[in-house]
Structure 1
Amino acid sequence: MARHDAQNWPESTKMIGLLWFVASILTQHGILGQRVKVDPEVTSYPGQSVNLRCSFSDPTGVQLTMVTWIYESKDGLRNNIAVLHPQFQPNYPESSLKGRVRFQSQQPEMTHPSIQITDVRMSDQGKYICEYATYPSGNEQGTTQLIMLAKPENSASTVSVEAGTQTTTVAKCESANGLPAAEISWVTTAKGNESTTTKPGTDNTLTVSSEYRMVPTPSDNGKDISCVVKHKTLEVPESFKMKLAVLFAPEVSISGYDHNWYMGRTSPVLICEAKANPVPISVLWKTMSGEMPDTVQISGNELKVLKVDETVNTTFVCEVKNRLGTSKSQVSIVVREPSQKSSNAGVVAGIIIGVLLALLLLCAIVAVLVTRSRRQQQGYRAKGGSDLKTRMFGGGKKASKNGTGGGAGSGGTGGGNNNGSVFVYKDGSSHQGLPEKNNHHQPLNMGPRPGVVASTPTAQDILLRNELDEAEIRKFDDIEDEERYDHFSGAGPILQLRSTNDQDNMMGGYMDDDMESQRDGSVISRTAVYV
């Protein structure tokens, strides 16, 4: 095993030594390559001047024998354009740059052989190599890429096309003579596709062209479309805003007819509206019958009727023409009977009726309130005195100085009018007296009550009694019935009177049932009617 390792040791040593040798060479080459300092990239515009810098960073231990600037075109061809030797004057060999290239310093140093190119052209774009001839290291170099920038000339326009069914170009956009090539894009709501091409321009520049293609329709006319150009020379993209131009024959419509043309209506107007590109060159009004009514006035695309009559009951036709064609539209007028003029009479009448109803309702409420108040007041007064009962139900009065009252059955006469009706009531009742349900108005058969004079009820008494509703009447009737029966309970028999002429007791049954005794001893009839 030890012997096998000893055999492999020399091979390992050789491999390690080889790796160190390669690393040292690469390191030395990298160090040497870094000694020539240049700008990796320089940009310029045509007509400007550009400086190409070059320097040798560490010439220690190295002899700089010569510096040469070499131009390499995009085709790979090389040309010496400037040579510097420490013992000779600078030299500029024949090239496309002769007369426009020179060393920056009048006495250039070998360590700083920078050059300047004036009136730069687009053809000057390419590689520029600064190469040192040194001893003992040999040649060392650095390369600068000159990039020429050409600001393009941008433009855009629409193309007037007729509406149809074939795809066609409706807008164009171009970025001419730019370097590098520009980028073109489209912004629009119209449905289409773009087509972009690039071709050489002048002086090694590039021209980019783009077209927007679509099937044009009348509805596309006037739509917005924008061409946007992006280029390295532009800080912000350049945008061209346009509107599509689609040519089409007129599209005609008539407005103004509201289906309410009645006899006598004044100044209705019909308007002929037309969409067209190009604009219409003529507008013609006519009727289907061929005769225009006398009350019609025409002004351009407007038809005005001074006053509607039966002659307007026709079909009006509007005909519009442009260079692509002629189109027309029509409307049939139906003349109606005169419409009712709108007025505020109904509104005023409604307001008046509403106010009257409100007043009536208010009066009814006030009447109800007043009636209830009066009923309450009358009820209190009836409880407190007999004068109200007398007025309402014919209560007796003291005999006047012109007559006296007679007793029961005495046939006496008083100064008052005994022929009037008497409203009978009971003095012993604690409630307001009311007539009984059956013939409460009873005549005095045996003469007036003692101390009571029959009096005719006044209109106020009758009105007051009428104000009492049926419930109150029933209430007082029930009270009187109870008092009457309570008063006569346990008393002697009621006096029954018979006429002396009634020998056969013909009236007996009637008299017994009809007559009623009073507290003062008199007897009165229940059914007799007083006149």
Structure 2
Amino acid sequence: MAFPSYPVPGLWTLSLLTLLGASVQSNFIVFDDDPLQPVTQDETVSVGGTVTLTCRVAESDNSSLQWSNTAQQTLYFGEKRALRDNRIQLHRSTGTELSITIGDIQLSDEGEYTCSIFTMPVRTARATVTVLGVPGKPQISGYEDAVQEGGKVTLTCTSSGSKPPAKLRWYRDQEELTGRPDVVESNPDEPTYTVISELTLTVGRSDDNALIACAVDHPSLAPGDKRSEQPIRVLFTPDVTIQPESDLPREGGKFHLQCIANGNPEPISYVWQKKDGELPPLAKVDGSVLRFEMLNKSDNGVYLCQADNGIGNVQGQYTLLVQDPTAMSTSSGVDHAVIGGVVAVIVFILLCLLIVLGRYLIRHKGTYLTHEAKGSDDAPDADTAIINAEGGHSGAEDKKEYFI
């Protein structure tokens, strides 16, 4: 790139000396431990960014350092700017370092920059600046309208302005998909590229409202910086289920069945039928609802609901079994009877235990009384019985003493 310049005293002479010194330098051996040998490093920067070029020497002999551009135009000589370009600024200048910045970098700024020190001989070092072309936001095309379940959709993603060529990646929500290999086209007006990628999907109902994304992968960008999304609509036949008002339809009561259909688009019509017969006279159809004003056991049977959304129709079924109106009370009576029976058994067991305990106590009390009157039955008269009852044992002892 050509920079506008203006004359600076002595700079033209220094530039000529630079070229002369560069040619002379090839005749000398430069050692790595040369303290006056300038050292630089390559830089990579994106279009629109700022690059810093730094040139250092280990020691100073009061010789000036100089930066030149790819066209060998002097940019800075020491602290003096040689070109009238406000993008180029002095960053630091000391006896051992010269650093400059170049802002708003363009693709034309790419190339090899030279740092020189005007010693005898003149020593130089080069730094290559690589400029990355920033890719544009990807554009997704090819989707025009909703796709029927089982159909295919082909999407095309395009991104321009990258250097080197970007890579395009496809995603469905967070899942990465595999598209066709990228097609890379060079741009005629600048050294950048246009990248094109295609993705073909066979869609199902789970893809309805899914986000298909195309993201640009490039060294100049952080992951996810440039990404475009395309929502997909899938048309599919409805799923049908029949939901009863309650699990216990009772004879004589009101009851209804709700036909629930999920499809895309939403169902536009519902048809109710009774399998192997006609709908009961007191059954009324209200769109997706079948109402029974007064249930009768003759209403028992299998009921069918057919939902149609224009893509297709699907049928669901429900078996109605009308219960006796006393079913709940009978069930409750049975529960109470069971509880009453258990209580009666417990009471009976307690009564039996009381009877056994009473008989046991009475028996022990009779035995005690019998021992108190022992011997009275064998007495010849009342007085002897009393004597035997009160002190029979003493009499025996007296008799023993008498014989002794």
Q: Where do 5+ consecutive residues of structure 1 fail to align?
A: 1-24, 72-78, 93-97, 390-425, 430-448, 452-531
Question: RMSD in angstroms over aligned alpha carbons?
Answer: 5.1
TM-score after normalising by structure 2: 0.62
Matches within 5 A, 1:433-452: none
Task: Measure the CA separation in 1 of the matches of 2:97 and 2:364.
Answer: 133
**Which letter does structure 2 place at the counterpart of 1:269?**
L
Is 1:253 the counterpart of 2:254? The answer is no
Preserved contact between residue 140 and residue 158 of structure 2 (Cα < 8 Å):
no
Aligned partner of residue 73 in structure 2, secondary structure:
strand
Is 1:120 the counterpart of 2:105? The answer is yes
Task: Measure the CA separation in 2 of the matches of 1:85 and 1:379.
Answer: 139
Alignment-derived partner of residue 214 in structure 1: 201
Tell me the alpha carbon deviations over residues 58-84 of structure 1, each in whole angstroms, 9 at most, x when there is no partner.
78699x9x978351xxxxxxx343388
Tell me the alpha carbon deviations over residues 358-383 of structure 1, each in whole angstroms, 9 at most, x when there is no partner.
12211111111111221222233234
Preserved contact between residue 272 and residue 302 of structure 1 (Cα < 8 Å):
no
Give identity over the alignment, percent: 15
CA, structure 1 residues 123+363, in 2 after alignment: closer, same or farther (shift >3 Å)?
Answer: same
Task: Measure the CA separation in 2 of the matches of 1:165 and 1:250.
Answer: 13
Alignment-derived partner of residue 523 in structure 1: none
Residue 134 of structure 1 and its aligned partner are, at CA, apart by 7.0
**Which letter does structure 2 place at the counterpart of 1:362?**
L
Task: Measure the CA separation in 1 of the matches of 2:371 and 2:88.
Answer: 145
Preserved contact between residue 316 and residue 332 of structure 1 (Cα < 8 Å):
yes
- For residue 327 of structure 1, the aligned residue among 306, 313, 336 is 313
- The structure, 1 or 2, with the larger RCO (C-alpha pairs under 8 Å, 6+ apart) is 2
Q: Where do 5+ consecutive residues of structure 2 fail to align?
A: 1-25, 383-404
Tell me the alpha carbon deviations over residues 419-466 of structure 1, each in whole angstroms, 9 at most, x when there is no partner.
xxxxxxx9429xxxxxxxxxxxxxxxxxxx999xxxxxxxxxxxxxxx
Is 1:147 the counterpart of 2:122? The answer is no
- Structure with the larger strand share: 2
**Which letter does structure 2 place at the counterpart of 1:125?**
E
Alignment-derived partner of residue 356 in structure 1: 344
Alignment-derived partner of residue 261 in structure 2: 273
CA, structure 1 residues 233+273, in 2 after alignment: closer, same or farther (shift >3 Å)?
Answer: same
- For residue 378 of structure 2, the aligned residue among 419, 422, 428 is 428
Alignment-derived partner of residue 385 in structure 2: none
Preserved contact between residue 88 and residue 102 of structure 2 (Cα < 8 Å):
yes
Alignment-derived partner of residue 273 in structure 2: 287
Task: Measure the CA separation in 2 of the matches of 1:191 and 1:49.
Answer: 34
Residue 283 of structure 1 and its aligned partner are, at CA, apart by 3.1
CA, structure 1 residues 242+347, in 2 after alignment: closer, same or farther (shift >3 Å)?
Answer: farther
Task: Measure the CA separation in 1 of the matches of 2:62 and 2:348.
Answer: 132
CA, structure 1 residues 153+293, in 2 after alignment: closer, same or farther (shift >3 Å)?
Answer: farther
**Which letter does structure 1 place at the counterpart of 2:238?**
E
Task: Measure the CA separation in 1 of the matches of 2:61 and 2:364.
Answer: 140
**Which letter does structure 2 place at the counterpart of 1:305?**
F
**Which letter does structure 2 place at the counterpart of 1:375?**
R
Aligned partner of residue 362 in structure 2, secondary structure:
helix
Task: Measure the CA separation in 1 of the matches of 2:371 and 2:33.
Answer: 145
Alignment-derived partner of residue 375 in structure 1: 363
Matches within 5 A, 1:332-351: 333-336=319-322, 338=324, 340-343=326-329, 344-351=332-339
TM-score after normalising by structure 1: 0.50
Aligned partner of residue 179 in structure 2, secondary structure:
strand
CA, structure 1 residues 293+134, in 2 after alignment: closer, same or farther (shift >3 Å)?
Answer: farther
Preserved contact between residue 193 and residue 213 of structure 1 (Cα < 8 Å):
no
Task: Measure the CA separation in 2 of the matches of 1:31 and 1:150.
Answer: 35
Matches within 5 A, 1:104-253: 104=90, 117-130=102-115, 137=121, 140-155=123-138, 159=143, 161-164=147-150, 168-169=153-154, 176-186=160-170, 193-197=178-182, 198-200=184-186, 204-222=191-209, 229-234=216-221, 237-238=224-225, 245-253=232-240
CA, structure 1 residues 132+375, in 2 after alignment: closer, same or farther (shift >3 Å)?
Answer: closer
Structure of larger gyration radius? 1
Task: Measure the CA separation in 2 of the matches of 1:102 and 1:239.
Answer: 30
